Chain A
Amino acid sequence: METVLFILFGAIAVCGAIMVVTRKHPMASALYLILTLFAVAALFVLRQAHFLAAIQVIIYAGAVVVLFIFVIMLINVPEDRLPVERATTMRVLGVLAAGFFILESAVLARRFWMPIGPVAEVGTVEAVGRALFTDYLLAFEITSVLLLAAVIGAIALAKRKI
């Protein structure tokens, strides 16, 4: 059952990702991105990483893509003036490099094949919570300073004049 679901959601994620990079209109790409992110969240659930799955949905599918969409709406390029993608040298090289990388990963995966062990209970919300508030407490608190700097930076840069 798990294998079936893995293949199903994996396929959805990969197809969504391909659609993201091949759509002409950026809005369509952004919507397919949501699909991909949801499918990845499902994969996280299958590996018992519940907290990660929740974060994936709340922050990535929820907030980050919303930001993407606002930027697309803000820039608002009319359909007939969307840039036409051409197969430039860089793009061809990029595709070649990506292909090479996939090939390499496949070889690596075969070479260092490890059976998937029993899923450890490290990704549940409770386990993450316990780690976050004991061993990784400092990291948690420092995150608040980072977020503070980010919020002030976001507002300051959006102002007409600092």
Chain B
Amino acid sequence: MLVEYATVLVFIVLGAVTVALMLGLQRWFAPSAPSAVKLSTYECGEVPYGSSWVQFNIRFYVVALIFIIFDVEVALLYPWAVVFQRLGFLAFIEAFIFIVILLAGLAYLWKEGDLEWVRTLQDTPAKKGAK
């Protein structure tokens, strides 16, 4: 069983070696003559302005949170897929109940408008309710 993971190990080692080789070789061979213009951030040829550290919209956070929750759901269904054929129809029902309960959560976040990325203040359900 462990041998199957040898591929992963080889992959990790190859990846690490490749990165080390590329960074190491260019440092060794390339001439180094830094100047202010060279060290500035490359922004498609434009003169860069402002910091690259911009504040993220809180909606990324909401999306990430929802992603985690549904990620957990998928992770729990992963062993189900493996044993499904052995356990048969009962396992189907079991996973069905699980998914239906979580679908209620999906319906909720749909209703709350968290699936729409482009929205204006007037569109939010809170405002609708206030009218």
Contact = CB atoms under 8 A, between A and B. Distances in A.
Contacts of A147: 69, 72-73, 101-102, 105
Interface residues on chain A, size class: 35 or more
Contact of B101 (A62, A71, A144, A154): A144
B54 interface: yes
A45 B6 CA distance: 11
A21 interface: no
Interface in A91-144: 124-126, 128-130, 132-134, 137, 140-141, 143-144
Contacts, number: 137
B120 interface: no
Interface in B79-131: 79-80, 82-83, 86-87, 90-91, 94, 97-99, 101-102, 104-106, 108-109, 112, 114, 124, 126
Interface of B: 1-2, 5, 9, 51, 53-58, 60-62, 64-76, 78-80, 82-83, 86-87, 90-91, 94, 97-99, 101-102, 104-106, 108-109, 112, 114, 124, 126
